[in-house]
Structure 1
């Protein structure tokens, strides 16, 4: 139907660019969070690469056999060692909010100083600890931004790790660091060629490498006594001692540090920073204004990424809870509905009152003959069929007239839209029970009879039938078939039980004439006239029920373009109707049930959650990058099984075969995205106040042929 009275502006498109940009920024934020949240700690691969006293090919002898402090920016490497009875305690993997303060307390109690090699991402999380380290006279150095194994990274990533750490320290303290210790490092004798290349690369950006003479391996938590023994130099020598103040449980480290300081102080050892120990100038220098500003920006970006990730986790949790709760309510209501409608009721009178079937038709030449024949072939005893041709240009009215079927009338009118055509048919109808049917719909012989039996209850004002997809041979048709079955057999049963049915589909619905007159006929000011009309009926105080056995076969869109147009109109029209009937929230009776049950349900599950779906897909990409694949596979399979259960249960209720269930995994890759993008487009169109045009679907007649031949299943 194409009412000419509304001239629409072109659909908005700029929001797609904004959406894409927003999703890219979301992925960037999640990626940043993924990089900094999975930080490890302790020594690892490099610590076992060699054996003490040996060096691997590619490492100069002067380095492998030299001291732990290495300057590698000149033509020849220079190494330095600690003087006798001088200890440079070094701590990696911090700052940690639990363990770093305890380490600092122990050092202060013993009047000792140390060097802390900080992880840039943790500096951004706890800048106050880095400031305390410097304020208490200690030294800081770089331990990369994400505790990455530099030997396994490309050159650009190495430079980035060091640069980001420098910026983080500059933003937190206003100072820049020059000392550097690579993660997973230990003694000079254990360097590999790749490790040495990484140290040379760091030297090119002004860093001085610091390894260790004594590796306590405290990250293994070997026991306090073993940590103390590993940290104690032999025969009064000096040493750079490697310990950790982050990356895990450091309780043994803190206790061992207290004992070590007391023991070695009694033995005449001095504890100092690395730079002071080797007689080098101060390694922590004033940072430039640019470095401080970029460091501050980096910190806020990291914190923002953490907030985004937290919000996404909360969103997923809420969505999961809502999804499970929705399924539980659907199943409970569906079981209750089935027990009620399938229980024999010998006391309910059989409805045999005359019925007028109204078929609005605009260019329905492909299906109109099959539609009219199916209606005339109804087993109902008293039925008239009124075809309202709404200005068709394909000979729709001529086709019906040439059929010369008894009980069929054709009314021609200038094109005015589907609501106007329906209202024309309502005025012309002779019966008090009216069935409204789309021009592409085929009824079964018992459909009309089953549909109107609910009118035996005088409180029932309208009845929804059960629409089925006829053209389900192709993949797109199977997806829509599953959607229809789930929607009708779970959602509509739930709506019926909760007495808040928001929509009687245009394909098959029955109304009392007095109800339609009471609500002013079919409204024409929204694009979802069926939803608008149903909501009017509820607010007028009538019950609206669902009849599962009244089956109508319809032709679903056969291409993604047609599907988009149809769902775009449906979604936009539904939002129009919801806004139009928002005052039902304050009403009592049937209108209040719509307002407090139906409208919130539609808002959450047809608008809000679909709007968040693009972000969920981005989170799935993030999961592929940073989460264990086993976790992802299990999570995906769990959700898929939940969907299979839902669809399988709905198919069983509708006595349909389970064959199409195999298409569900594929549905998540295309169909789901189309559906939520339709909601995005509809919301944007509504927000900017644009008026959507009617989009008519091109009919092929395939559905009518399949249904007529009885081969739709």
Structure 2
């Protein structure tokens, strides 16, 4: 993509083209015979010769083309008057408009080189001079099959104004086989002085021959086209004949057949440019589509979140007093298992039991729980079999029909269990997602994850709740009805995202899954980039697995179809596809800042960023969170977001390649802090 954009920018003059000539230099090395001679400087046929056109002979020359608007009009005038001309073309324009150059050749006109990007050859190093000429050669060979030996350097219209730098360019280009063609008469049409003035400027003196400089590109050339007819009339009335620049000074044609190698290279470059155009256009369309999608997503999330908040404002109609079994799967959790169990034991729900399922820990996790000697807490020891196995073991030993799953690094508030199971007053609800919050927010990485949890996860869950297509009840804080779990066969180990897998299965089976934002749990987020990568890699990989496993719901009816056509499509667009193409979009935005219109590009990026800021502020307000961490949002967009994109890319590549990824155990630090909550929470 980078290569395509750079080629596109270079050809389109977004990269590398100069707009003014170099400052005037001394002219001590310029031969006097060159100043007093003619406009065609020939070092190819013996000693230096400054050739003049024959008397009453005019060669009309046009610079800077081809141009899709003005070149056809110039060609029409020349064809109508049966006048040949010489076109000094820019290689970049040749690649952009190859058909126009072919029309010039087919009409019998002569083609010369005017560099590739209109670079001031006297103001660039020798390697750049050679590159400008060789690139133009390749472009001509690929589009017309011709090579040219004629060169007109930009910003040097006549030979008597040459300085030492220009003379060095003439000598270097002669060594490459070029004859340099300046002009006797400059129409100065680039200044648009009026038709009459252009004609007067271009008219030769007396019976002198002349090479006339005009332009068929580079701006508004309406005056040039109008002056061309009048100029030809006046010259014909004075008995002048028209020919090409080389023929005017007695040289053979400046065009010859290109070698096969030149043609092959030229055709390759032409196809590469066409591909770069396709890439650029595709990126522009893609950027527009992504912008529309992001805008639509933000508006949808905010509108639905507001509706969800109004619906939940007064809580559920009743609070079930049914007993609850809390299942805590634990493996090597000695750092914080006691804090987790103490917080659970302090719950204000009327009746509950706590089952800590030790999944083969070797660090004394089970012993630490037993040391607490808390009432209602049971420890179940089993060989290591993974988290799904531990959860299913807990379900099998649970005494009650309402099940709450808690990660061993998560701390509940006293009212979390009560609020979490309140929605089960509705018999159609099979599971409830709680509100997982980052408990270790100190440091930049902690703040970034805190923003992500509040803005991304919780706003999304509100939307999924209202749309009836909840894809994930998080393992950190979730509740399930035993009957629903029995119907789907418990927790499956088919994927690494067992929470997403079982939630999709429940919704697909017709159970309703809701989000209760007041059921708050504080979880420990990864404290290092390495640990974060492992966690998100597993999450993303498992989510892709679960989406693939339940892909058939897209074609089903009822709740399952709603899950597939809403939830899975939403997940696919914004958690898989958009992150996959987001680096390309960011690269194109950087390209736009450097090579295109930086103001327009900055406005586009600022608009998208403003949408994220507004949605973040709204999400924080809904969750009664302080806005202070949002100062890190710009840095999150630059660094953290790129990391998440790379995680998605690696996960998708791993999934597509068929590699079976293992479980990554994260290293914990027991740094969860439960802040003082605002009143009413």
| Residue in structure 1 matched with residue 224 of structure 2 by the alignment | 253
CA shift digits 1:124-173 (9 cap, x unpaired): 23333223222322111001122222223222121111011111111222
Retained in 2: the 8 A contact 1:40–1:147? no
- Answer yes or no: is 1:464 the counterpart of 2:439: no
Distance 1:287 1:709 in 2: 80
Retained in 1: the 8 A contact 2:38–2:50? yes
- Answer yes or no: is 1:688 the counterpart of 2:663: no
Distance 2:454 2:340 in 1: 21
CA shift digits 1:193-214 (9 cap, x unpaired): 3333333322221111112122
Distance 1:465 1:541, change over 3 A: same
Retained in 2: the 8 A contact 1:467–1:484? yes
Distance 1:538 1:297, change over 3 A: same
| Residue in structure 2 matched with residue 83 of structure 1 by the alignment | 54
- Answer yes or no: is 1:30 the counterpart of 2:5: yes
Alignment of 1:211-250 (within 5 A): 211-250=182-221
- Answer yes or no: is 1:601 the counterpart of 2:565: no
CA shift digits 1:647-702 (9 cap, x unpaired): 22211111111111121222233212221111111111111211000001011111
SS at match of 2:542: helix
SS at match of 1:610: helix
The structural deviation recorded for 1:247 is: 2.5
The structural deviation recorded for 1:44 is: 6.2
What residue ranges of structure 2 are gaps of 5+ in the alignment? none
- Answer yes or no: is 1:445 the counterpart of 2:420: no
- Answer yes or no: is 1:707 the counterpart of 2:678: no
The structural deviation recorded for 1:187 is: 2.3
The structural deviation recorded for 1:618 is: 3.0
Distance 2:558 2:229 in 1: 74
Distance 1:489 1:707 in 2: 18
SS at match of 1:530: helix
Moved more, 592-601 or 207-216: 207-216
- Answer yes or no: is 1:552 the counterpart of 2:527: no
| Residue in structure 2 matched with residue 3 of structure 1 by the alignment | none
SS at match of 1:657: coil
Which of residues 178, 182, 197 in structure 2 aligns to 1:207? 178
| Residue in structure 2 matched with residue 177 of structure 1 by the alignment | 148
| Residue in structure 2 matched with residue 349 of structure 1 by the alignment | 318
The structural deviation recorded for 1:73 is: 6.2
Provide the alpha-carbon RMSD of the alignment. Answer: 2.3
Distance 2:366 2:66 in 1: 81
Alignment of 1:415-434 (within 5 A): 415-434=384-403
Distance 2:227 2:159 in 1: 24
CA shift digits 1:341-364 (9 cap, x unpaired): 11466xx12222111111000011
Distance 1:191 1:488 in 2: 68
Distance 1:444 1:75 in 2: 96
| Residue in structure 2 matched with residue 19 of structure 1 by the alignment | none
| Residue in structure 2 matched with residue 5 of structure 1 by the alignment | none
- Answer yes or no: is 1:95 the counterpart of 2:49: no
Distance 1:193 1:217 in 2: 24
In the superposition, the TM-score normalised over structure 1's length comes to: 0.91
Distance 1:598 1:544 in 2: 12
| Residue in structure 2 matched with residue 14 of structure 1 by the alignment | none
Distance 2:17 2:630 in 1: 49
Distance 2:675 2:62 in 1: 80
Distance 2:202 2:155 in 1: 18
Distance 1:621 1:306 in 2: 18
The structural deviation recorded for 1:615 is: 2.1
The structural deviation recorded for 1:409 is: 0.6
Distance 1:41 1:591 in 2: 56
Distance 1:148 1:289, change over 3 A: same
Distance 2:14 2:544 in 1: 46
Distance 2:12 2:314 in 1: 58
Distance 2:390 2:577 in 1: 34
Retained in 1: the 8 A contact 2:6–2:15? no
- Answer yes or no: is 1:649 the counterpart of 2:615: no
CA shift digits 1:268-301 (9 cap, x unpaired): 1111111110001221122111111111111111
Retained in 1: the 8 A contact 2:15–2:595? no
Moved more, 685-694 or 185-194: 185-194
The structural deviation recorded for 1:180 is: 0.5
Retained in 2: the 8 A contact 1:243–1:253? yes
Retained in 1: the 8 A contact 2:291–2:608? no
Alignment of 1:296-695 (within 5 A): 296-343=267-314, 348-695=317-664
Distance 1:670 1:49 in 2: 43
Distance 1:59 1:641, change over 3 A: farther
Retained in 2: the 8 A contact 1:118–1:140? yes
Retained in 2: the 8 A contact 1:359–1:387? yes
Looking at both structures, which has the greater relative contact order when contacts are Cα pairs under 8 Å and sequence separation is at least 6? 1
Distance 2:19 2:328 in 1: 76
SS at match of 1:669: helix
In the superposition, the TM-score normalised over structure 2's length comes to: 0.95
- Answer yes or no: is 1:123 the counterpart of 2:91: no
Distance 2:315 2:389 in 1: 40
The structural deviation recorded for 1:624 is: 4.4
The structural deviation recorded for 1:411 is: 0.5
Instruction: Give the number of aligned pairs.
Output: 679
Retained in 2: the 8 A contact 1:39–1:146? no
